């Protein structure tokens, strides 16, 4: 198939909204599953942005960076966004690739909906991003839809209940897949982990697409049994130290984008040089935000869905 590139669409030009850098952290805990993830407001930590790990000094991003509709450059980050369209008709796929290079891995951060850690607390990703002062953001792992998984954000432990394959982002700019059940949050922090994500599966390891990812189920709970088939997807990958890929594929919209299978998504990362890549929450949650506007077109409707967290580049 032939790739066609075009500028990203629907990017607002009002500039960054007021807000702090959203430096996060926390202390652990979890609650019970809720069948309706939009009902309960189970807060474990309020004012999460006031906490930050003491053993890692986060660099302040250059607020005088320059930006266009598809790129951003500052002293601490270089970001370029590409829109890729393949196929046609009902086989058409549209996805968005943000190539991110940073000088300090700790400006790649997480932020919570409402600045609170807990189950079933949600907000639109663009709102979370604006409050955090993000230049670029994608939806995270929707940690608030479950009470398991290791959750370390911006250097501090929020939850320590290993359950699945996770992704660890280190303060030295590296990234690796790991087995949550074989370690602990404290051990990961001691090893230099800055953020963890708990969804999956891993897509690429050592530069190769991982075999069998078309058969993986994330959880067996009600409402989140399978992530297979052609779906909208969000993922993150690492090309090299401090060189990341944020990729969002739209889907479930006939004639615009059918979505991608898990192996197709993995191949996108591998073909762009990712040594490691990991799948995040998808479907209607798949969103990319650049400055104050949506880059992608969720479900072909241009409307965001609330989620519990984002991963972002501070600005």
* pLDDT tens for each residue of 251-307: 999 999 999 999 999 999 999 999 999 999 999 999 999 998 999 999 999 999 999
* Both structure tokens of 10: 């629907």
Lowest mean pLDDT among 42-56, 81-95, 208-222: 42-56
Q: Residue 52 — very low, low, confident or very high, per pLDDT cuts 50/70/90?
A: low
Number of C-beta neighbours around residue 160 at 10 A? 20
Domain positions in the chain are 4-12+21-27+44-53+60-288
Of the two residues 150 and 62, the one the predictor is more confident about is 150
What is the average pLDDT across 53-80? 72
Residue bearing tokens 């008709």? 89
For residue 252, what are its two tokens?
């479930």
Compute the distance between CA of residue 130 and CA of residue 126 in angstroms, rounded to an integer: 6
For residues 197-207, give the mean pLDDT: 97
As a whole number of angstroms, the distance between CA 109 and CA 197 comes to: 11
Q: What is the DSSP letter of 143?
A: G
Contact 249, 94 (CB under 8 A): yes
Please provide the average confidence, as pLDDT, over all residues in the chain: 84
Query: What is the chain's Cα-based Rg?
Result: 18
List the one residue out of 155, 175, 159 whose CA is nearest residue 167. Answer: 175
Residue scoring higher pLDDT (43 or 16): 43
Rounded Cα distance, 42 and 118, in Å: 5
Alpha-carbon span 235 to 228, nearest angstrom:
14
Instruction: Provide the strand spans (E) within 54-201.
Output: 66-67, 71-73, 77-86, 93-102, 108-112, 116-119, 134-139, 149-153, 156-161, 165-170, 175-179, 193-197
Tell me the pLDDT tens digit for each residue of 99-108: 999 999 999 9
In the three-class reduction of DSSP (H, G, I as helix; E, B as strand; rest coil), residue 181 is classed as: helix
CA distance 55 to 124: 31
Spatial contact of 195 and 154, defined as CB atoms under 8 Å apart: yes
């Amino acid at each position: 198939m032939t790739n066609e590139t075009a500028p990203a669409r629907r990017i607002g030009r009002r500039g960054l909204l007021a807000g702090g850098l959203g430096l996060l952290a926390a202390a652990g805990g979890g609650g019970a599953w809720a069948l309706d993830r939009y009902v309960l407001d189970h807060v474990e930590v309020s004012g999460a942005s006031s906490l930050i790990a003491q053993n890692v000094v986060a660099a302040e991003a250059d607020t005088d960076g320059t930006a266009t509709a598809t790129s951003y450059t500052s002293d601490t980050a270089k970001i370029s966004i590409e829109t890729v369209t393949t196929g046609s008709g009902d086989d058409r796929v549209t996805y968005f690739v943000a190539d991110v290079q940073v000088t300090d891995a700790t400006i790649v951060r997480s932020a919570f909906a409402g600045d609170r850690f807990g189950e079933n607390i949600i907000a639109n990703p663009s709102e979370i991003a604006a409050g955090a002062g993000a230049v670029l953001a994608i939806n995270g792992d929707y940690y608030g839809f479950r009470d398991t998984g290791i959750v370390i954000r911006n250097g501090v432990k929020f939850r320590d209940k290993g359950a699945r394959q996770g992704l660890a982002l280190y303060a030295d700019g590296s990234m690796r897949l790991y087995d949550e059940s074989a370690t602990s949050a404290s051990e990961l922090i001691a090893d230099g982990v800055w953020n963890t994500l708990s969804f999956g599966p891993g897509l690429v390891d050592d530069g190769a697409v991982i075999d069998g990812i078309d058969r993986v189920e994330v959880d067996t709970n009600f409402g989140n049994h399978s992530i297979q088939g052609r779906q909208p997807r969000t993922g993150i990958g690492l090309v090299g130290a401090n060189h990341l890929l944020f990729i969002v594929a739209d889907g479930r919209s006939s004639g615009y984008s059918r979505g991608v299978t898990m192996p197709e998504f993995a191949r996108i990362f591998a073909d762009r040089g990712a040594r490691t890549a990991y799948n995040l929450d998808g479907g209607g949650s798949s969103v990319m935000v650049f400055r104050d506007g949506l880059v992608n077109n969720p479900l072909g409707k241009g409307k965001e869905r609330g989620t519990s967290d984002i991963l972002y580049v501070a600005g």
